[in-house]
């Protein structure tokens, strides 16, 4: 059985990479591309693809807008492509057929595709998929409260620190180190845990061991072989990790 697949992403390089990975699957005969949520919704209705790779964050009409336009009950199986935070990923894990967290590896892509094809072969989509998509959109549309203050130890006392005052966060084993100006505060928390509590519109992971406040960035310094250094207003200089480049570049449209 030959299958038609739709790739919906506003970034040309992202679409090209998914297309390249899909071309190695003999069962896929046709690959359509959509550059916006509006175009994706139209192509889903008109061409009825068997599978959709749907970028969540697209301008004007995002991935959830596509689902609302087409109707969750009429959507084909969806693999979400996302740079969402930890909170949202928990929702994807419960309600979505599958998701790919940018930047994803070829192995992770292959696993998601294999799972999707097995679901299509087993005929287990239909109403169960519609119900999952309804629940996913509902959960992610609820207001989310992000961390605004965190208690730090200062002179033997616990003192509240405004999260907005943090310049960047470093991993320190089982602890994290909060950098605020010339001060440092050690807090017992993991990087994964604190990342899920921070507003992703303000804080972004740039390295396995670093999270930065976007408002504190003074300069982005391109280097050799696609590497980047991030200079903060405090003078701190941080390196952008290879695994975090695609998401970081997307934030600044570079």
Question: Strand ranges (DSSP E) for the chain?
Answer: 3-8, 28-34, 51-55, 78-82, 98-101, 149-154, 157-162, 168-172, 175-180, 183-187, 203-207, 210-213, 217-222, 228-232, 237-239
Domain with residue 73: its CATH number is 3.40.50.2300
Structure confidence at residue 200 (pLDDT): 82
| Same domain, residue pair 125 and 23 | yes
Domain match, 109 and 229 both: no
**Residue 98's pLDDT is what?**
79
β 175-180/183-187 pair status = antiparallel
pLDDT of residue 94: 53
d(C-alpha 185, C-alpha 29), whole Å: 56
Question: Quick one: 211 and 228 in the same domain?
Answer: yes
Along the 254 residues of the chain, how does pLDDT read in single tens digits? 689 999 999 888 889 999 999 998 889 999 999 999 999 999 999 999 999 999 888 877 888 888 888 887 888 888 888 876 655 665 566 556 778 887 788 898 999 899 888 888 876 555 466 677 777 776 666 566 789 999 998 888 899 999 999 999 999 988 999 999 989 999 999 988 898 888 888 899 999 899 999 999 999 998 877 788 999 999 999 999 887 887 787 777 66
Q: How many CA atoms lie within 13 A of 162 on its CB side?
A: 3
Whether residues 22 and 127 share a domain: the answer is yes
| Maximal CA-CA distance, the chain | 69
Domain boundary among 105, 140, 175: 140
Number of independent structural domains in the chain: 2
Assess whether 30 and 154 both reside in one domain.
Answer: no
Determine the pLDDT at residue 139: 64
103 shares its domain with 221: no
3-state DSSP assignment of residue 198:
coil
Structural domain range at position 110: 3-140
Residues 125 and 217 both lie in one domain: no
Is the domain of 41 the same as that of 107? Answer: yes
Same domain, 13 and 135: yes
Residues facing 101 on adjacent strands:
82
194 and 126 within one domain: no
> Are 45 and 129 in the same domain?
yes
CATH code for the domain in which residue 197 is found: 2.40.50.1020
What per-residue confidence (pLDDT) applies to 144? 66
211 and 158 in one domain? yes
Domain end point (choices 122, 140, 158): 140
């Amino acid at each position: 059985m030959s299958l038609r697949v739709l790739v919906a992403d506003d970034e040309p390089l992202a679409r090209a990479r998914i297309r390249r990975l899909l071309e190695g699957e003999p069962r896929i005969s046709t690959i359509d591309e959509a550059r916006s949520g509006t175009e994706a919704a139209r192509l889903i209705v008109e061409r009825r693809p068997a599978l959709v790779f749907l970028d969540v964050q697209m301008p004007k009409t995002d991935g959830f807008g596509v689902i609302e336009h087409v109707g969750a009950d009429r959507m084909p199986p969806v693999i979400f492509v996302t740079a969402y935070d930890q909170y949202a990923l928990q929702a994807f894990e419960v309600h979505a057929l599958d998701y790919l967290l940018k930047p994803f590896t070829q192995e992770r892509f292959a696993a998601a595709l294999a799972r999707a094809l097995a679901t299509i072969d087993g005929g287990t989509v239909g109403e169960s998929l519609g119900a999952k998509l309804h629940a996913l959109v509902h959960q992610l549309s609820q207001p989310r409260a992000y961390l605004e203050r965190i208690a730090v130890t200062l002179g033997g006392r616990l003192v509240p620190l405004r999260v907005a005052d943090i310049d960047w966060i470093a991993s320190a084993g089982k602890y994290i180190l909060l950098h605020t100006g010339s001060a440092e505060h050690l807090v017992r928390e993991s990087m994964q845990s604190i990342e899920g509590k921070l507003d992703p519109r303000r804080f972004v992971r740039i390295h396995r061991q670093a999270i930065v406040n976007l408002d504190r960035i003074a300069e982005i310094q391109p280097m050799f072989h696609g590497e980047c250094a991030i200079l903060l207003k405090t003078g701190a200089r941080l390196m952008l990790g290879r695994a975090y480049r695609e998401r970081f570049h997307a934030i600044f449209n570079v």
